[in-house]
Amino acid sequence: MRKLLTTILRWLLLFTVLVLAGALLVPAVAYVAGKRLIGTYEGKLGFIDYADSIYAAASRGEVLAWLILLSPALVWLVWYLILRLQRRLFTAAG
């Protein structure tokens, strides 16, 4: 039982860190990359307006905004599932 609780807490902590990274770091990285590739953002406050537009879109339920904010967690989940499937296929074949 103790091992199960430890595992669940570890998963929750990892998921929380990934979601926070998506909510805080991804908009900043996207802003810097967009500024270098496309040019400055049209808002008066720059990054603040850019991040506010992403958070406002997420609060309206727009799927693209949620994909941006949850991208680290989604990337990790996809890699985890791929590795799990690969491990299962190799142990079944071997």
Contact at 8 Å (CB) between 69 and 23?
Answer: yes
Rounded distance between C-alpha atoms, residue 55 and residue 26, angstroms? 12
pLDDT for the residue 59: 96
Domain tally, the chain: 1
- Over its length of 94 residues, how does the chain's per-residue pLDDT go in tens digits? 788 888 899 989 998 999 999 999 999 999 999 888 988 777 788 888 989 999 999 999 999 999 999 999 999 999 999 999 998 888 877 6
Question: Which of 19, 13, 29 has the alpha carbon at shortest distance from 58?
Answer: 19
Residue 16: which domain range? Answer: 2-93
State pTM to two decimals: 0.74
pLDDT for the residue 1: 79
Long-range contacts, stretch 24-32, CB < 8 angstroms, 24+ apart: 25/72, 26/68, 26/69, 26/71, 26/72, 27/51, 27/54, 27/68, 27/69, 30/68
